[in-house]
Amino acid sequence: AQSVTQPDIHITVSEGASLELRCNYSYGATPYLFWYVQSPGQGLQLLLKYFSGDTLVQGIKGFEAEFKRSQSSFNLRKPSVHWSDAAEYFCALATSNNAGNMLTFGGGTRLMVKP
């Protein structure tokens, strides 16, 4: 069975500082990996996804993520955080043999941005 772990429950950064949110997965082959963002009381918005190829993927809102097979990681980064980035971030994976491309989510990381 696959799983996703987001080790940091809360992270606080200052506006303008760089950001890295950690994501580790457990799966025997290469999964499909995703990062979603959720603002309070809202649904989830897809930031970026990795299927294959270039291990550094670019997403919306200036985010990027790097797939590292050797570390089973897919960390999300942003060079300069804006106050509007404060939200909850979820890493998720799907596999090619999952019925219906079911997503398995991590527990989330809540990002707070200090002025």
Partner 1 sequence: DTGVSQDPRHKITKRGQNVTFRCDPISEHNRLYWYRQTLGQGPEFLTYFQNEAQLEKSRLLSDRFSAERPKGSFSTLEIQRTEQGDSAMYLCASSKVGTYGYTFGSGTRLTVV
Interaction site with partner 1 (CB under 8 A): 4, 32, 34, 36, 41-46, 49, 51, 90, 92, 94, 99-108
Contact 14, 113 (CB under 8 A): yes
36 contact partners, CB below 8 Å, separation of at least 6: 44, 45, 46, 47, 89, 90, 92, 105
Looking at the Cβ atoms of 36 and 67, the one nearer to partner 1 is 36
Looking at the Cβ atoms of 31 and 78, the one nearer to partner 1 is 31
Residue 109 burial class via C-beta count within 10 angstroms: exposed 0-12, middle 13-18, buried 19 and up: buried
Looking at the Cβ atoms of 15 and 44, the one nearer to partner 1 is 44
CB of 19 to partner 1, least distance (A): 19
Q: How far apart are the first and last CA of the chain?
A: 41
Looking at the Cβ atoms of 34 and 67, the one nearer to partner 1 is 34
CB of 115 to partner 1, least distance (A): 25
CB of 52 to partner 1, least distance (A): 11
